[in-house]
Structure 1
Amino acid sequence: MLKVILSVLFLAVITTAIGYQQLQATINTPLMVTNNTQFEVKRGTGFNKLCKQWQANNWVDSCWRYQIIAKLDPTLTDLKAGLYVLSNTSVISNIKKINQGQQVSFSFTIIEGQALRDVLAAIKNTTNLKNDLNIEQLSQQILSSDIHLEGWLFPDTYHYHNNDTASSVLKRAAQKMQQTLDDAWQQRAQNLPYNSAYEVLIMASIIEKETGLASERPLIASAFVNRLNTNMRLQTDPTVIYGLGENFDGDIKRKDLRDYTPYNTYRIKGLPPTPIAMPSKAAILAAVNPPHSEYVYFVAKGDGSHQFSTTLKQHNAAVKTYILNKKN
C-alpha cells in the first residue's frame, strides 16, 4: 500500500513539474512577429478572438495554452481597444501591453504664428485622426461660442491615439489657450489699452506675426501699447496681409494700405476685430507686461531684427538706412 501511495505522489510531482515547465515555456514563448508590427484591437474584441486572430496570422501556434493561463490570471482578458505596436517579446507581455492600453501615440503640432486656415489644412491631412470638424459651426464645436476661432488654439504638440477626433485635439488646444490667457490677464500691468482678455489675444497675435525674433517681442509690445495709448494707429503690415486673405500675392502694395478692410490698421483705429494668428505664451506675456519705453516706431533691418525709434525723424532715417539703403 505504501508503495502505491509513494508511486502516486511521485507521479503527481512529475506531472506538476512537467506542467510547470510547460507553463513557463508558454509564458516565455515569443510572439512570432517582426518588431514594431502595428495591430488594431477593435472595440468588443475578446481574449479568445484576439488569440484566434494571432493564430490566423501565424503569430502563435495554438490558443489553448494561453486560454489556460487566462483562467489562472483573469486580468489578461481585459483588452482595451486601440492601435498597438507588437514586438517579438513574449505573447503574454504583448497581451499585457493591450491590457494596460499602451497604444501607439501620434502627434499634431500647432506652430506659433500659424493662421487658423493653415492649422485646419494641416489637421485635415494628419494620419490616424478622424476629421469630424464642422467648418460652418467650427467655433461652436470647439469653443461652444460664436467667437471666431482664430487665435484660440495654443501652439504646442498634442498627442493622440488612433481614431481620436480632430475636434478633441483642437478642444485641448483651445482649453490650453483659454487657461494661458486667463492667467496672463490676472497678471497684467496697469494702464494698458485693453478692455478685455480677448483684446490681449488680438494684440499677442499681432506681436507674434510682427517679429520672428523672440527677444524682440517685449519691445514690439511696448511700441504698440504706446501707439494705442497715444491714439496712434497701429499701422502694422501683418494685419493688412491677414485682411487681404487669399488675395495677398506675397507683396504689399500702396493700394493695399489704402484700401479699407476691418484689418487694415493703416485705416482703422485701435485693434482689428479678431486675432490674426495663434500667438505663443511669450507673445501673450509680452502683451500684458510690456517694458516701459518711449518707442513708437520700428523698421525691419533685414536680418530678422528691428530698429526702434522714438520720433518720426529717427524713424524716417532708419527707413532710409534699412529700407531705401540710403546712409545719412
Structure 2
Amino acid sequence: MLKVMFSVLVLAIITTAIGYQQLHTTIHSPLNVASNTQFEVKKGMGFNQLCQQWQANSWLDSCWRYQLVAKLDPSLTELKAGLYELTNDTVLNNIKKINSGQQISFSFTIIEGQALREVLSALREADNLKYDLDTTQLGQQIIGQDTHLEGWLFPETYHYHHNDTASSVLQRAAKKMQQILAAAWQQRADDLPYKTSYEALIMASIIEKETGLACERPLIASAFVNRLNSNMRLQTDPTVIYGLGERFDGDIKRKDLREHTPYNTYRINGLPPTPIAMPSKAAILAAVNPPKTAYVYFVSKGDGSHQFSTTLQQHNAAVKTYILNNKN
C-alpha cells in the first residue's frame, strides 16, 4: 500500500513539474516574427482563430498551451480589431497588446496655409485611411453646415488608426478650428472691420498666405485692417491666385489682376467670400488683435520679409528699391 501511495505521489510530483515547465515555457516563449511585423485583427476574429493563424505562419509551435492559459485567464480572449505591430516579445505579451487595443498609430498633417484642395489630395494618398468624403456636400459632412470648408480645418498633426475614415480626421480638425476661432473672437479688439468671426477667419487666411514670417503676421494684419477701415481695397495677390485656381501658372500677370473673380481683391471691395487657406492660430490672433499702426502699404523685399509704409510716396519708393531695381 505504501509503495502504491509513494508511486502516486511521485507521479503527482512529476506531473506537476511537467505542468510547471509547460506553463513556464508558455509564458516565456517568444513570438517568432521579424521586427515591425504588421498583423490585422479583423472584426469578429476569435482567440482560437488568431492562434491558429499565427501557428500557420510559423510564429508559434502550437496553440493548445495558449488555449489552456486562456482558460485560466479569459481576458486573453478579448481581442480588439485593428492593425498591430508584432514583436519578438513573448506570445502572451503580443496578445495582451491586442487585448488593450495598442494599435499602430498613423498621422496626417494639415499644413499652415494649405488650401482645401491640397488637403483633400493628400488625404486620398494617406496610408491606412478610408477616403469617404463627399465633395458635393463636404460642409454638411464635416461641420453640419452647407458652407465651403475652406479655412475650417486647423493646421496640426492628427493621429489615426488603420481603417479610420478621412471624414473623422477632418471632423476633429474642424472642431479644433471652431474652438480656436471662438476663443479668439471673444478676445477681439474694438473697431475691427469684421461683423462675424467667419470674416475674421477669412482675413486670417489672407494673412497666412501673405507672409511666411511669424513676426510679420501682426503687421500684415494691421495694414489690411487699416485698408478696410479706410474703405481701400485689400489688393493682395494670394486672393487673386486663389480665384484663378488651377489656371494659375506660377506668375501673376496684368490680365489676372484685371479679371473679375469673387476673390480678386484688386477688383472687389472688402473681403472675398470665403477663406483662401487654412490659417494658423497665430494668423487668427493677428486678425482679431492687430497692433495699432499707420501702415497701409507693404512690398516684398525678396527675402521673405516686407517693407511697410504709411504713405503712397513711401510705398512707391520701396517698390522702386526692392522690385524695379532688382529687375534691372
Tell me, what secondary structure is at the counterpart of 2:262? Answer: coil
Moved more, 203-212 or 251-260: 251-260
Q: Deviations over 1:29-78 (max 9, x none)?
A: 11111111111111000000000101111111110000000001111000
Post-superposition shift, 1:2? 5.3
Post-superposition shift, 1:250? 1.1
Q: Match for 1:207: what amino acid?
A: I
Paired position in structure 1 for 2:316 = 316
Rounded to whole Å, the distance in 1 between the matches of 2:185 and 2:21 is 66
Matches within 5 A, 1:41-52: 41-52=41-52
Q: Match for 1:214: what amino acid?
A: A
Q: Which runs of 4+ in 1 moved over 3 A?
A: 1-11
Matches within 5 A, 1:1-328: 1=1, 4-325=4-325
Q: Match for 1:233: what amino acid?
A: R
Post-superposition shift, 1:9? 3.5
Report % sequence identity: 79
Tell me, what secondary structure is at the counterpart of 1:255? Answer: helix
- TM-score, normalised via structure 1 length: 0.97
CA RMSD of aligned residues (A): 1.2
Tell me, what secondary structure is at the counterpart of 1:307? Answer: strand
Q: Deviations over 1:4-42 (max 9, x none)?
A: 445434432332232112101111111111111111111
Post-superposition shift, 1:147? 1.3
Q: Structure 2: which 5+ residue stretches go unaligned?
A: none
Tell me, what secondary structure is at the counterpart of 1:168? Answer: helix
Post-superposition shift, 1:93? 0.6
Q: Match for 2:92: what amino acid?
A: I
Q: Deviations over 1:123-148 (max 9, x none)?
A: 01111111111111111111111110
- TM-score, normalised via structure 2 length: 0.97
Alignment coverage as a number of residue pairs: 326
Q: Deviations over 1:156-205 (max 9, x none)?
A: 11111111111111111111111111111111111111101100100000
Rounded to whole Å, the distance in 2 between the matches of 1:13 and 1:199 is 82
Tell me, what secondary structure is at the counterpart of 1:85? Answer: strand
Rounded to whole Å, the distance in 2 between the matches of 1:14 and 1:211 is 79
Q: Structure 1: which 5+ residue stretches go unaligned?
A: none
